[in-house]
């Protein structure tokens, strides 16, 4: 008995895909390590750092975010 492939719906009929909105951070700006509200935008509710491909930051900014989040966790400012 041969396997029958299902017919796929045309691309425009597959549903509404809305890409995640990326925050606008200029590439040359440094991220303030002491600003907890800014760092909170780059951490999930479980405390994991959101990857740069999702947030749209540069690799240098991602390293600054990583450093800031780790410091804030260590000081008890971020859960």
Angle at 55 between CA 63 and CA 17, to 5 degrees: 160
DSSP classification of residue 49: B
* Residue extents of the structural domains in the chain: 28-79
Bridge-partner residues for 49, per DSSP? 43
pLDDT, tens digit, 9 for 90 and up, residues 50-64:
999 888 888 899 999
Looking at domain 28-79, its CATH architecture is: Irregular (4.10)
Nearest to 23, CA basis, from 9, 39, 2, 1: 39
pLDDT, tens digit, 9 for 90 and up, residues 5-30:
888 777 666 666 666 666 567 767 77
Name, in order, each residue with C-beta under 8 angstroms of 25's C-beta and a sequence gap of 6 or more: 31, 56, 57, 61
What are φ and ψ of residue 37, in 5° steps?
-65, -35
Confidence (pTM) = 0.66
């Amino acid at each position: 008995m041969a396997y029958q492939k299902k017919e796929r719906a045309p691309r425009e009929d597959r549903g509404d895909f809305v890409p995640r909105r990326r925050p606008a951070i200029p590439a040359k700006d440094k991220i303030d390590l002491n600003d907890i509200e800014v760092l909170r935008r780059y951490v999930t509710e479980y405390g994991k750092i959101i990857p740069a491909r999702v947030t749209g930051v540069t690799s240098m900014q991602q390293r600054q975010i990583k450093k800031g989040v780790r410091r804030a966790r260590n000081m008890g400012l971020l859960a």
